[in-house]
Structure 1
Amino acid sequence: MGLNLRAKLLLSLTTVLAVLSIVGFMTLNVQSDWGFIVQHRGSRLLGMLLVAITMGLATVVFQTITHNRILTPSLMGFDVLYVLVHSLALLVWGVGQNTGWPVELRFIVEVAVMVSIALVIFRLLFTDSVRGLHVLILLGMVTGLLFRELAELAQRIFDPSEFSIQQGSGIANFNRINVQLLWVGLIGVGLCSALLFRFRHQLDVLILGRDVAINLGIPYTKTITLLMLAICVLVSISTALVGPMLFFGLLVANLAYWITGSHQHRWTLPASVLAGIVCLVGGQLVFEHLLNSGLPLAMIIELCGGVLFIVLLLRGVKQ
């Protein structure tokens, strides 16, 4: 089943805006040699593209397996969980870089620990027992707050200079992308994206509910575990690159639903990525190069996402 004319036009417009955002970010107000521009802006662009992909795909898939358009991995505290694991890892390995462990290897170990804990949390919260939406949101908020406080407590053990640096990493910032993890992040995003797109037809079945999916031959437990693993890896990569963002995934996922007017994942998954690119790269282009504003883009995104969250919560939207 394809898209109607309205959805095709909106999807085409979003694609054009995404391409223009990328081209504009790399070319507007260029006052230096292209080698420096590609190195400086190119790394930031790659980081924002990875964040757009990770948060868009992770949120759409998470909402599919939880059967709700309000819940997201960030609202359930998964991004702050990675911050906590990272802070505890720094206590074990030390803040300095000369610890004998490459940064990429340390990141992989941290992701593995975070995924293990997140899978346990998911199993505890999303079992056969039915919990109301408000209870799940409350549990997610409380869990996220607990993780954040524990991470801050761990960071306070650092010396004052290192504490200020690590405390700043708990806030999303698109001007401070962790370039050391770009390539390992790119590999991780590529593998997880390929897995999720491969499972797009199973996701179309999972959206119908657990019992229907099992009756139609979907190995439910195995499939959900693989999808949750990919979600956790994607959230970890996004958080490691720019920091935690509470409402960005909610914003781009619901934009994808509005653009496509469909629940088919062959459309909603790429639409969420395109919407994320427009929000991140296009927003950074407008604030940084057109308005010359120092206003943090993350603050605007979180404000818009927060308003959307309140609207959806009041309406009680469910899939």
Structure 2
Amino acid sequence: MKNASKNRIVMKRLAILAVAVACLFFFWDLGNASRFIIGWRSTKLLTFSVISISTAFATVSFQTVVLSNFLTPSLLGVESFYRLLQTMLMYFSFSFLGSQLSAERQFLFLVFLMLGSYFLLYRLSWQRYNYDMQIILMIGLVMGTFFNSISSFMQVLMDPNEYDKLQTKLFASFQNINGSVLVLAAPIALFSVISLWRKRKVLEVLGLGTQTAKNLGVAVEKETKLAFMHAILLMTVSAALVGPMMFLGFVAANIAYRLFRTYCLNYLLPGASLLSFVMIVAGQFIAEEVFKLQTNVSILVELFGGIYFFWLLWKERGKL
């Protein structure tokens, strides 16, 4: 009861902090701003919410299933596959179609193709190995390297103008948010978030280990497949909206583990989402007001995330 009370206090403080940074971002230097500025900032805040919740739920759920706080859904090759698809879209749309596909069609194409590839991979390999996590992660690493190699090869063949346009899609940016894509992405993300939230108790049991979960009556293969599907879907939505962000979910999840000191997803899922939201909004505010858009929020998040990752590795090294 004492820990639960502490966790509720931490959650309230995180919620207050999230509201504070959102208000700072929205009302800063607003003055007599036009409806366009107000609408634009509102769209950004909604996008921040979708991205933060998506990455947090995907990362925490994935780490719970694979029993490791150092692994992220990126190890399944999601971001590498996203880069490959974006490279192919840019290359073939210029070379054969003569123009680029609309943003809405690109988004739907990415979502359906990545989910379709996931089910194909499930049928061909994961199911055969009975969801052995070591084999699944090894397959993901090999496929990620393979996808990156193909992407690099195709980028070498591109026209410099095509390559410049491609780079804007391969790195996360919150400056060019497409409202129509956001309208498509938000319901999809909401579907996966609600599904994972309803399965949070099952995920907690999976976090006890495969054999223990089976002994407690959990259909391990089915629930693991669903958790992976939703994690991939949420990562796809996040990448399609603003671009891939490798360390955002990792940092938010690991800070949440240390703040709440519990394995209960009732606290970890919303807590990691709030932390992710605070990092994105604060990072975007610093990028706009301090660096005057000379740098990108993704660079700030990835820099902090990389340092935090190596700090965690060094800390764990001391326990050996």
TM-score (norm 2): 0.85
> How far apart are the structure 2 equivalents of 1:72 and 1:11?
23
Matches within 5 A, 1:272-311: 272-289=272-289, 292=292, 294-311=294-311
Report whether the alignment pairs 1:227 with 2:227: yes
Matched position secondary structure for 2:164? helix
Corresponding position of 2:81: 81
Mean alpha-carbon deviation: is it higher for 162-171 or for 55-64? Answer: 162-171
Count of residue pairs brought into register by the alignment = 314
Q: Which has the higher helix share?
A: 2
Relative to structure 1, the CA distance from residue 5 to residue 235 in structure 2 (aligned partners, 3 Å threshold; closer, same or farther) is same
Per-residue deviation, 1:57: 0.6
Q: How far off its partner does 1:128 sit?
A: 5.6
Other structure's SS at 1:64 match: helix
Once the two structures are superposed, what CA deviation does each residue of 1:95-119 show, in whole Å capped at 9, x if it has no partner? 87967x7643442232222234345
* Distance in 2, Cα, partners of 1:171 & 1:139: 25
Cα gap change, 1:31 to 1:161, in 2 (>3 Å): farther
**Displacement after TM superposition at 1:296 (Å):** 2.2
Tell me, which stretches of 5 or more residues in structure 2 are unaligned? none
Query: What is the 5 A alignment of 1:2-151?
Result: 3-92=3-92, 103-118=103-118, 120=121, 123=126, 129=132, 131=134, 143-151=143-151
CA deviation map 1:36-65 (0-9, x unaligned): 122221222222221111111100001011
Answer whether contact 2:86 2:166 (CA < 8 A) is retained: no
**Secondary structure of 1:169 counterpart:** helix
Q: Aligned-pair distance for 1:93?
A: 5.1
Q: Distance in 1 between matches of 2:318 and 2:266?
A: 22
How far is 1:127 from its partner? 5.2
3-state SS, counterpart of residue 33 of structure 1: coil
- In the alignment, is residue 252 of structure 1 matched against residue 252 of structure 2? yes
Could you list the structure 1 runs, at least 4 aligned residues long, displaced by more than 6 angstroms after superposition: 95-99
Note the C-alpha offset of 1:167.
2.1
Structure-2 residue corresponding to 1:167: 167
Flag the 1:92–1:125 CA change in 2: closer, same or farther, 3 A.
Answer: farther
Code of the residue aligned with 2:6 in structure 1: it is R
Does the 8 A contact of 2:77 with 2:144 survive in 1?
Answer: yes
User: Which residue does the alignment assign to 1:215?
Assistant: 215
* Aligned amino acid, residue 123 of structure 1: W
Deviations 1:59-95 (A, max 9, x none): 0001011100000012443122112123324445558
Partner of 1:269: 269
Which stretches in structure 1 are left out of the alignment for 5+ residues?
none
Q: Could you tell me whether the CA contact under 8 Å between 1:85 and 1:114 is conserved in 2?
A: no
Give me the whole-angstrom Cα distance separating, in 2, the residues matched to 1:4 and 1:146: 45
Taking structure 1 as reference, are residues 91 and 115 closer, same or farther at Cα in structure 2, changes over 3 Å only? same
Displacement after TM superposition at 1:139 (Å): 7.0
The alpha carbon displacement at 1:221 in A equals: 1.4
Mapped partners of 1:43, 1:80: distance in 2: 28
Query: CA 1:291–1:89 in 2, change beyond 3 Å: closer, same or farther?
Result: closer
- 1:204 and 1:276 map into 2 onto residues whose CA distance is 21
- TM-score, normalised with respect to structure 1: 0.86
Q: Deviations over 1:187-239 (max 9, x none)?
A: 11111111010101101111001111122111211111111111111101111
